[in-house]
Amino acid sequence: MSRQTMGSPARGSAIPGWCGATIAALVREMIPDVIGLPVSPRALWLRSWKYIHDVGGAGVTTHALSALDIAYWDLLAKSLDVSLYDLLGKVRDRVPLYGSGINLNLSADEIVDQVKRWKAKGFIAAKVKVGKPDIEEDVERLKAIQEAVPGFPNSGKE
Protein backbone atom coordinates (compact mmCIF):
# COMPACT_ATOMS: atom_id res chain seq x y z
CA MET A 1 0.00 0.00 0.00
CA SER A 2 1.65 3.20 -1.09
CA ARG A 3 1.64 6.31 1.03
CA GLN A 4 -0.23 8.01 -1.81
CA THR A 5 -2.95 5.37 -1.65
CA MET A 6 -3.02 5.58 2.13
CA GLY A 7 -3.59 9.33 1.74
CA SER A 8 -6.86 8.79 -0.12
CA PRO A 9 -10.04 8.98 1.93
CA ALA A 10 -10.56 5.27 2.58
CA ARG A 11 -13.04 4.48 5.29
CA GLY A 12 -13.03 1.81 7.94
CA SER A 13 -15.13 1.62 11.05
CA ALA A 14 -15.58 -0.21 14.30
CA ILE A 15 -18.05 0.17 17.13
CA PRO A 16 -18.02 3.90 17.98
CA GLY A 17 -17.76 4.80 21.63
CA TRP A 18 -16.82 1.30 22.73
CA CYS A 19 -13.12 1.18 23.55
CA GLY A 20 -12.63 3.64 20.70
CA ALA A 21 -9.26 4.90 21.92
CA THR A 22 -7.96 1.35 22.29
CA ILE A 23 -9.20 0.32 18.85
CA ALA A 24 -7.73 3.48 17.31
CA ALA A 25 -4.38 2.76 18.99
CA LEU A 26 -4.36 -0.77 17.57
CA VAL A 27 -5.19 0.52 14.10
CA ARG A 28 -2.37 3.09 14.33
CA GLU A 29 -0.06 0.28 15.45
CA MET A 30 -0.93 -1.91 12.45
CA ILE A 31 -0.90 0.69 9.65
CA PRO A 32 2.90 1.03 9.32
CA ASP A 33 3.13 -2.73 8.73
CA VAL A 34 1.12 -2.47 5.49
CA ILE A 35 2.54 0.77 4.06
CA GLY A 36 4.21 0.08 0.71
CA LEU A 37 2.31 -3.15 0.03
CA PRO A 38 -0.04 -3.72 -2.93
CA VAL A 39 -3.72 -3.01 -2.26
CA SER A 40 -4.92 -6.59 -1.95
CA PRO A 41 -7.56 -6.81 0.81
CA ARG A 42 -7.25 -10.54 1.51
CA ALA A 43 -3.46 -10.44 1.69
CA LEU A 44 -3.51 -7.28 3.80
CA TRP A 45 -6.10 -8.77 6.16
CA LEU A 46 -4.00 -11.91 6.64
CA ARG A 47 -0.85 -9.87 7.24
CA SER A 48 -2.69 -7.65 9.73
CA TRP A 49 -4.18 -10.71 11.47
CA LYS A 50 -0.75 -12.26 11.84
CA TYR A 51 0.57 -8.96 13.18
CA ILE A 52 -2.13 -8.48 15.83
CA HIS A 53 -3.46 -11.94 16.78
CA ASP A 54 -0.99 -12.53 19.61
CA VAL A 55 -2.54 -9.57 21.43
CA GLY A 56 -5.82 -11.46 21.41
CA GLY A 57 -8.07 -13.26 18.96
CA ALA A 58 -11.29 -11.47 19.90
CA GLY A 59 -12.68 -8.23 21.25
CA VAL A 60 -10.86 -4.99 20.51
CA THR A 61 -8.27 -6.66 18.27
CA THR A 62 -10.93 -8.00 15.92
CA HIS A 63 -12.71 -4.64 15.92
CA ALA A 64 -9.46 -2.94 14.91
CA LEU A 65 -8.86 -5.58 12.24
CA SER A 66 -12.42 -5.12 11.02
CA ALA A 67 -11.91 -1.37 10.60
CA LEU A 68 -8.76 -1.98 8.57
CA ASP A 69 -10.42 -4.72 6.51
CA ILE A 70 -13.19 -2.32 5.51
CA ALA A 71 -10.60 0.34 4.67
CA TYR A 72 -8.59 -2.15 2.54
CA TRP A 73 -11.66 -2.99 0.46
CA ASP A 74 -12.58 0.69 0.21
CA LEU A 75 -9.06 1.52 -1.02
CA LEU A 76 -9.23 -1.20 -3.67
CA ALA A 77 -12.60 0.04 -4.95
CA LYS A 78 -11.34 3.64 -5.04
CA SER A 79 -8.18 2.59 -6.87
CA LEU A 80 -10.33 0.85 -9.52
CA ASP A 81 -12.81 3.77 -9.60
CA VAL A 82 -15.77 1.49 -8.85
CA SER A 83 -18.24 1.36 -5.99
CA LEU A 84 -17.49 -1.12 -3.25
CA TYR A 85 -20.79 -2.93 -3.72
CA ASP A 86 -20.08 -3.37 -7.45
CA LEU A 87 -16.56 -4.61 -6.65
CA LEU A 88 -17.98 -7.19 -4.25
CA GLY A 89 -20.64 -8.33 -6.73
CA LYS A 90 -23.94 -6.58 -6.08
CA VAL A 91 -26.90 -8.93 -6.56
CA ARG A 92 -29.77 -6.59 -5.63
CA ASP A 93 -30.50 -2.90 -5.42
CA ARG A 94 -32.26 -3.01 -2.05
CA VAL A 95 -31.79 -5.07 1.09
CA PRO A 96 -34.35 -5.15 3.91
CA LEU A 97 -32.84 -4.12 7.23
CA TYR A 98 -33.84 -4.54 10.84
CA GLY A 99 -33.04 -2.44 13.87
CA SER A 100 -30.90 -4.11 16.51
CA GLY A 101 -29.23 -3.13 19.73
CA ILE A 102 -27.70 -4.41 22.91
CA ASN A 103 -30.70 -3.31 24.93
CA LEU A 104 -31.15 -5.74 27.80
CA ASN A 105 -30.51 -2.85 30.19
CA LEU A 106 -33.50 -0.86 28.91
CA SER A 107 -36.88 -0.76 30.62
CA ALA A 108 -39.98 -1.89 28.74
CA ASP A 109 -40.86 1.76 27.99
CA GLU A 110 -37.34 2.49 26.76
CA ILE A 111 -37.27 -0.57 24.51
CA VAL A 112 -40.66 0.41 23.07
CA ASP A 113 -39.29 3.89 22.31
CA GLN A 114 -36.22 2.35 20.67
CA VAL A 115 -38.33 0.08 18.45
CA LYS A 116 -40.59 3.01 17.51
CA ARG A 117 -37.50 4.98 16.42
CA TRP A 118 -36.31 2.03 14.31
CA LYS A 119 -39.71 1.75 12.63
CA ALA A 120 -39.78 5.51 11.99
CA LYS A 121 -36.38 5.20 10.29
CA GLY A 122 -37.79 2.59 7.91
CA PHE A 123 -36.56 -0.66 9.41
CA ILE A 124 -38.94 -3.53 8.65
CA ALA A 125 -38.27 -5.47 11.83
CA ALA A 126 -36.42 -5.34 15.12
CA LYS A 127 -34.14 -7.64 17.06
CA VAL A 128 -34.28 -7.06 20.79
CA LYS A 129 -32.18 -8.74 23.40
CA VAL A 130 -33.82 -11.21 25.76
CA GLY A 131 -32.25 -12.98 28.69
CA LYS A 132 -33.41 -11.22 31.83
CA PRO A 133 -33.02 -13.30 35.00
CA ASP A 134 -36.82 -13.53 35.18
CA ILE A 135 -38.31 -14.77 31.89
CA GLU A 136 -41.55 -12.97 32.72
CA GLU A 137 -39.71 -9.66 32.36
CA ASP A 138 -38.65 -10.69 28.85
CA VAL A 139 -42.26 -11.60 28.03
CA GLU A 140 -43.48 -8.23 29.39
CA ARG A 141 -40.96 -6.33 27.25
CA LEU A 142 -41.94 -8.22 24.10
CA LYS A 143 -45.66 -7.79 24.78
CA ALA A 144 -45.14 -4.07 25.34
CA ILE A 145 -43.51 -3.82 21.93
CA GLN A 146 -46.32 -5.77 20.24
CA GLU A 147 -48.98 -3.58 21.88
CA ALA A 148 -47.23 -0.27 21.20
CA VAL A 149 -46.11 -1.04 17.65
CA PRO A 150 -48.85 -3.25 16.12
CA GLY A 151 -47.80 -5.30 13.12
CA PHE A 152 -44.12 -4.74 13.79
CA PRO A 153 -42.07 -6.61 13.00
CA ASN A 154 -43.75 -7.60 9.79
CA SER A 155 -43.01 -10.28 7.24
CA GLY A 156 -40.46 -8.11 5.45
CA LYS A 157 -42.53 -8.01 2.26
CA GLU A 158 -43.15 -4.25 2.33
Residue 3's pLDDT is 38
pLDDT in tens, 91-146: 988 888 899 987 899 999 999 999 999 999 999 888 888 999 999 999 999 999 99
Q: How far is CA 70 from CA 22, 49, 76, 94, in A?
A: 18, 14, 10, 21
In the prediction, which pLDDT does 42 show? 96
- DSSP per residue over 103-140, as a string? -TTS-HHHHHHHHHHHHHTT-SEEE-----SSHHHHHH
In this prediction, residue 45 carries a pLDDT of 94
Judged by average pLDDT, the poorest of 52-56, 64-68, 73-77, 153-157 is: 153-157
Residue 76 or 53, more confident: 76
Q: Indicate if the pLDDT at residue 8 is higher than 90.
A: no
pLDDT tens by residue, 22-63: 888 999 999 999 999 999 999 999 999 999 988 877 888 888
